[in-house]
Amino acid sequence: MVLAVCAFTVATANAAVTLIANGTLTGSSAGYYTDLSGLHYNLENGVSASLLGGLGSGIAWASGNTFLALPDRGPNAVSYNSAVDDTVSYINRFHTVSMKLTPNVGPGLPFILTPTLKSTTLLFNGWPLSYGTGQGVGLGSGAPSRNNKVRYYFTGRSDNFDPSQNSGNNLDARYDTEGIRVSNDGKWVFISDEYGPYVYQFNRANGMRWRVMTLPSHFYVSNLSPVGATEIANNTSGRTANKGMEGLAITPDGRTLLGFMQAALVQDNLQGGKAKKVLRFVTIDIASGQWTHEYAYNLTAGSGVSEVVAINNHEFLVDERDGSGLGNGDAAVVKQLFKIDISNATDVSNMDGLTAAKNAVSKTLWLDLVAALNAAGIPSTEIPAKIEGVAFGADVVDNTGNKLHTLWIANDNDFVQDYSGPNTNPNLFYVFGFTDADLPDYVPQAFTPSAR
């Protein structure tokens, strides 16, 4: 899908960053809005287990024109069972997508984007996980029928946990995938989640969990519930339910991950004042799997942070957004990318929320996505509410011979893309072009030849 527009100037914090292409992904040759998981059954709410949706919860560049697209915990936007927050035993997965950019010789944007679904990889553990029995919530077991003696699949159902453990129990089957990045050698995939929060390392080829990254213990809640609101009410510390580790970045040298919480921790929120707007994020040493530093970020106008991507080994773009726009029935307002630098940031791991807020990283608005898309002829009512996927991609050369770096944006449409009329909310991708003048210190991820 390419929008025909005239030449434009982007009236944003960075006027040279321009939309060069956009497109949508509707499914495989197997069927409309069908992925390549090969799951031929329906979930508890009657939805197909192979429904393609929510692709923009996270996207990761994997070198060349290959990207990985990450759905979250599955199709739970339609009410069916409030005792599990309408979640289902949707097996967590990522999709491999080819993103072909072709120079456009006609009117409209400079490039034509053609996304093609290449494969779907299901995520599993090699030994048993804790699943809900279904007792007390009016359902059967939360264990997928696909399980066998060597593959125990992670799912989005909210009661798939061991109630005797805290939310950091890495044998819980529940997994709300939100951020994804690829290792520099292309062999591994790192995925963050909101239930734990967790950061897991998976084998990219087969989807098997390989390693668990260690996170701060004060990110976990002690009293678990399949209902998010109940979890929040019954805990005085830990991540806010459904607003855990939303963003994940990998530094270009491939040595460090940066995991970003979507909202304030429960203990910070209870403290009140500016602590309610402080978001904590950590750096993780990939070699050891241990978190190394904890920093703070102050929200400006958005309701939370949905993604973070590395500019270089110490600077990052942070995706701050509200919940308004396409899919929410109103007009988008806040979809902004802020630039931060952690090279001289203060570690806040031992600070309360108010103190952490005073020691938060400084931030600079780099791109106002609403203004940029408005300038490209896209009205605010057609800008997705949940802009959650952000990744850099390969450089391109336009029709005038100019080399451009690329920034890729995707949406989480909550699997409700098949609505018709004004509520249509497809899996959308936006590609922005920028130059060294826009990000003078930009360093692309250093993929090894074997990853290409």
pLDDT of residue 5: 28
281, pLDDT greater than 60 = yes
Q: Quick one: tokens of 143?
A: 């264990």
pLDDT of residue 239: 97
314, pLDDT greater than 80 = yes
* 11 vs 39, residue with greater confidence: 39
pLDDT of residue 4: 28
pLDDT tier, 375 (very low <50, low <70, confident <90, very high otherwise)? very high
- 317, burial (CB in 10 Å: exposed 0-12, middle 13-18, buried 19+): buried
Name the pTM for this structure.
0.94
Name the nearest CA neighbour of 402 among 15, 20, 13: 20
pLDDT of residue 228: 96
The whole-chain average pLDDT of the chain stands at 93
Q: Alpha carbon of 275 to those of 341, 359, 449: distances in Å?
A: 21, 11, 45
Rounded Cα–Cα distance for residues 327 and 413 (Å): 7
**180 CB-near residues (< 8 Å, 6+ apart):** 58, 59, 60, 68, 70, 94, 189, 190, 191, 192, 248
Rounded Cα–Cα distance for residues 244 and 381 (Å): 28
Residue ranges of domains in the chain: 18-451
pLDDT of residue 29: 64
pLDDT of residue 106: 87
Cα distance from N-terminal residue to C-terminal residue, the chain: 27
pLDDT tier, 1 (very low <50, low <70, confident <90, very high otherwise)? very low
> What pLDDT digit, counting tens, does each position of 161-208 carry?
999 999 999 999 999 999 999 999 999 999 999 999 999 999 999 999
pLDDT tier, 32 (very low <50, low <70, confident <90, very high otherwise)? confident
> What pLDDT digit, counting tens, does each position of 107-132 carry?
999 999 999 999 999 999 999 999 99
Q: What single-letter DSSP state applies at residue 56?
A: B
77, pLDDT greater than 90 = no
pLDDT of residue 423: 58
Rounded Cα–Cα distance for residues 320 and 304 (Å): 6
Rounded Cα–Cα distance for residues 252 and 267 (Å): 33
> What pLDDT digit, counting tens, does each position of 223-245 carry?
999 999 999 999 999 999 999 99
pLDDT of residue 12: 41
Rounded Cα–Cα distance for residues 46 and 44 (Å): 6
CA angle 276, 322, 166 (to 5 degrees): 50
Cis peptide leading into 197, omega within 30 of 0? Answer: yes
Q: Quick one: tokens of 165?
A: 């453990």
Q: Quick one: tokens of 304?
A: 């939370």
> For the chain, what is the largest distance between any 2 Cα atoms, rounded to a whole number of angstroms?
64
